[in-house]
Amino acid sequence: MYEIRTDLALEAREKFEEDNVEVKGVILEEEDAGRDMHISKVVIETENGAKIMGKPKGTYITLEAPNMMEDDEEYHREISATLARIIKQLFPVEKEDCTILVAGLGNREVTPDALGPNVVDHLLITRHMIKEFGKYALGEKNTNRISGIVPGVMAQTGMESLEIIQGIVKETKPDYLFVIDALAARSVKRLNRTIQITDAGIHPGSGVGNYRNGINKESIGIPVIAIGVPTVVDAATIVSDTMSNLIGAMSEAEHLKKIGNSLSALEEAEKHELFRELLSPYLNAMFVTPKDIDESIRRISDTLSEGLNLAFQKEEIS
């Protein structure tokens, strides 16, 4: 059975649309966010919908910005402001002196997986200052108590990220937990151009087959919001998409039409499974990332951290 390897709920929902299958208990809403930005909201309402989608129940908001890889500071500021508004809508922080813990998941030594640590590096950390000098420590700026942690990966610490975060939550007692992580996408066009925000938590490494314990409200005990950007795509998916395009071209070529039509008759899942078997064992477990990923991670982490800093302020975002 072929399984879509993606962390994006939107892509999982799109797969059913391609197959003309209606998923009960799953709602899709879309809106234009202006300046080449598009927002999609997938709400998984039922356990049946969660089982079919392969995602936990919850709200998954996807912000698509096709030009996010471009070096345009004004455009990135607009992305940050839009991200902040989405966060405030999904997780309205109404409590006075709210405490928020931000966990940057991933491996700082592996560039495509370094998004979380880089975002935490650029956050405005305030908990220690407010705790030491009071709520007016930052002058007139009205902000919440923000703390950050980069738990690393199991190969570095010997511990699950969940275990580390559980200990910190027990000791510092934050009101909310934000987790930032790099994701895997189904489509190349969404690499480094898409931000997913969800209140369903996260399973670190699930997109690349490294399943770890879930970090969510059930395991942590407080509301969890996960923010991620896809930085890698399954190599087998790239090949299968290329082969699908080739089959389409063969079906239109007179001397190859018979072969193309025979292959086109296969179900989409059968095509993917065939391509995956042909690739195994050399490319079946390989993931691909753009060659300029180091610059992309730097730029995107700045954009995400600015969006979080805006969202954590108590003032309204203009």
3-state SS, residue 95 = coil
Is a pLDDT exceeding 80 seen at residue 279?
no
Give the pLDDT of residue 260.
67
CA distance 201 to 193: 21
Q: Is residue 148 a contact partner of residue 125, using CB atoms and an 8 Å limit?
A: yes
CA distances 173 to 78, 100, 132, 147, Å, are 33, 9, 17, 11
CA distances 123 to 65, 119, 173, 270, 308, Å, are 22, 7, 19, 45, 8
Give the pLDDT of residue 286.
78
Q: Match 């979080």 to its residue by tokens.
A: 308
β-strand pairing of 224-234 with 287-288:
antiparallel
Q: Match 């598009």 to its residue by tokens.
A: 38
Is a pLDDT exceeding 50 seen at residue 35?
yes
Write the DSSP string, 238-290.
HHHHHHHHHHHHHHHSGGGHHHHHHHHTS-HHHHHHHHHHHHTTTSTT-EE--
Give the pLDDT of residue 207.
47
In the chain, % of residues over pLDDT 90: 49
Q: Which residue has the higher pLDDT, 298 or 136?
A: 298
**What phi, psi does 136 have (nearest 5°)?**
-100, 15
Instruction: Tell me the average pLDDT across 255-272.
Output: 70
Alpha carbon distance, N-terminus to C-terminus of the chain: 48
3-state SS, residue 194 = strand
Angle between helices 73-90 and 293-312 (to 10 degrees): 50
Write the DSSP string, 127-176.
HHHHHHH-TTTTTT--B-EEEEE----HHHHSS-HHHHHHHHHHHH--SE
Q: Which of 67-76, 123-132, 133-142 has the lowest mean pLDDT?
A: 133-142
Q: Which two tokens stand for residue 289?
A: 């990332």
Give the pLDDT of residue 90.
84
Is a pLDDT exceeding 80 seen at residue 142?
no
CA distance 219 to 166: 8
Q: Which of 60-64, 196-200, 232-236, 269-273 has the lowest mean pLDDT?
A: 269-273
Is a pLDDT exceeding 90 seen at residue 241?
no
Fold of 9-232+292-312: Rossmann fold (3.40.50)
Q: Which two tokens stand for residue 250?
A: 């063969």
Q: Which residue has the higher pLDDT, 92 or 20?
A: 92
pLDDT tens for 188-229 read: 889 999 999 999 999 775 545 555 678 999 999 999 999 999
Band of residue 269 on the pLDDT scale cut at 50, 70, 90: low
Q: Which long-range contacts (CB under 8 A, 24 or more apart) does 277-281 make?
A: 279/235, 279/236, 279/239
Residues facing 146 on adjacent strands: 100
Residues 6+ apart with CB under 8 A from 246: none
Band of residue 1 on the pLDDT scale cut at 50, 70, 90: very low
pLDDT tens for 68-84 read: 988 889 999 999 999 99
Query: What are the structural domain ranges in the chain?
Result: 9-232+292-312, 237-279
